[in-house]
Amino acid sequence: MTATTPLHCVSPTTWVVCVIEGFDQFLLDHAAAEKKAAGMALSMLSHYPDRARLVTAMSELAAEEMVHFREVVKLIQERGLQLAADEKDPYVNEIRSWIRRGSEEYMLDRLLTAAVIEARGAERFALVADALSAGCLRRFYQSLARSEARHYELFLDLATEYFPSETVGSRWQELLSAEASCVQALPIRAALH
Ligand SMILES: [Fe+2]
Ligand SMILES: [Fe+2]
């Protein structure tokens, strides 16, 4: 893994090949993922209205994810495709099932699971960019990879603002290791996860 990603494993090459071959299908899933990311940011700020920094950060994040969504929708429409109904994302559902109960644990886990999901998004968008030939689409995925890397850092940063760094560090490593097993067990399909 490169120094810029915290992830414990790289996505398989077969995944990138499948995405490039089924790129139309991938775009539909990608649009849904951006929309869900915006929804998650909104739900987070609704849950913690008293945390000023979190509210600001999540409102900015929701807006940015909706810009991503709009850009992917544009690509979809340029190809003469239309949005599909949302499907469950087994990867996201599995990771969110690791969020513990109890107000402290719940908040920490919400922030850190979001960070894990963003870090994987960053890794996968960079892989997609690398597999595309030079041009607008490649630059678009490169810029998304940078945004998602910023988002994972934001969530990690919020976690260390509200919780002691040793607590954050040990739970972060636990989640990263669980995420690696989860990602390795995922079926390969033309979807973000
Ligand atoms: Fe995004
Ligand atoms: Fe993001």
**pLDDT tens digits for 18-58?**
999 999 999 999 999 999 999 999 999 999 999 999 999 99
Q: What pLDDT is attached to residue 17?
A: 97
Q: How confident is the model at residue 77, as a pLDDT?
A: 97
Q: Which ligand is nearest to the CA of 125?
A: 1
Residue that the structure tokens 């894990």 belong to: 116
CA–CA gap between residue 156 and residue 111 (Å, rounded):
7
Which of 86, 82, 63, 67 has its CA nearest to residue 192? 86
Residues with CB under 5 A from ligand 1 (ion): 34, 65, 68
Task: Give the residue-averaged pLDDT of 102-118.
Answer: 97
pLDDT value of residue 82? 95
- Ligand 2 centre and the CA of 37: distance in Å? 6
d(CA 161, ligand 2 centre) in Å: 19
* Gap between the Cα atoms of 20 and 3, Å rounded: 26
Question: How close is the Cα of 65 to the center of ligand 1, in Å?
Answer: 4
Ligand with smallest separation from the Cα of 64: 1
Confidence grade of residue 186 (pLDDT, cut at 50, 70, 90): very high
pLDDT at 4: 76
Q: How far is the CA of 7 from the centre of ligand 2 (A)?
A: 16
Max alpha carbon distance in the chain (Å)?
50
The whole-number average pLDDT for the span 4-31 is 96
**CA-based end-to-end distance of the chain:** 19
